Amino acid sequence: MLKGNAQITEGQKFEILAAISKSAPAIFGEMDSTTAQSWIENPKGLQKVLKKALCPSVETINFPIWKTIELGTGLKTADDFRKAIEASGYKISKWASDILNKQAFTVASEKTELDLVKITGVDLGFTKNVTRKKIYDRAIKLGLELCPNESGPQLRLQYKDQPNGEWLYIAIEPIVVSDGDLNVFLVTRDDDDPWLNASCDSLGDLWGPGSMWVFVSPRRK
């Protein structure tokens, strides 16, 4: 799951303890009495070693915040967003418009600020083409979060100075469009025309290391 795993169950706790017990004889065979006594007298140290081995810490990188946008600005329906985009002099593609019509597309109930980062596959450590899932998994492991799907049209509306030729894939949970394909929003400026586009993510599609993605940088309390 991209958004984190559920809490460990009581049954899993017992199973892990049983698995540790089964592994213990092999460890004890390589441990002398002095080492064993040192662990007996240092339970906190033993706990720390076990925690490090069984629960590796999540690596995080402080990616610089690129842009802060607002959600929940009063635009609620697909038509609201389409009219706002067209009124701003921007264009919207067929499939981006289709995403707005889907039930999976939701908007914030109140005004909310969102800190965004703009990164490439290279920034995430990739040097070759990979799947979107690998990109998402790596970004989340590094402390980023997926964007609410409202971020796509809101970024288009609020990114007035986008440089020509820039393509930004919005890291949302993909939405199934009318032809059955999964799609994510794509905010572009081509030939000086600002667009809200969409990009297909069919099974097996790969993304180049230079592809630029927008994720959320969560605000720490």
pLDDT tens digits, residue range 17-74? 888 887 778 777 777 887 777 778 777 767 767 766 776 555 667 899 999 999 999 9
User: Residue 210: which of 150, 135, 159 has the closest Cα?
Assistant: 135
Distance in angstroms (rounded) separating the CA atoms of residues 174 and 138: 17
| Tokens read off for 15 | 């199973």
Identify the band that residue 1 occupies on the pLDDT scale cut at 50, 70 and 90. Answer: very low
| pLDDT, tens only, 111-130 | 999 999 999 999 999 999 99
Give the CA radius of gyration of the chain.
23
Residue 143 has a CB neighbour count (10 Å cut-off) of: 17
| pLDDT, tens only, 153-209 | 999 999 999 999 999 999 999 999 998 899 999 999 988 899 999 998 876 789 999
The confidence score (pLDDT) of residue 2 equals: 41
Residue 44 has a CB neighbour count (10 Å cut-off) of: 7
Distance in angstroms (rounded) separating the CA atoms of residues 128 and 113: 34
Distance in angstroms (rounded) separating the CA atoms of residues 118 and 213: 6
| Residue 211, SS3 per DSSP | coil
Q: What is the DSSP string of 95-157?
A: HHHHHHHSTT----SS-EEEEEEEEETTTTT--S-B-HHHHHHHHHHTT-BPPPTTHHHHHHH
The confidence score (pLDDT) of residue 195 equals: 96
Q: With both helix axes pointing from N to C terminus, report the angle between 78-87 and 151-158 in degrees, rounded to the nearest 10.
A: 20
Identify the band that residue 3 occupies on the pLDDT scale cut at 50, 70 and 90. Answer: very low
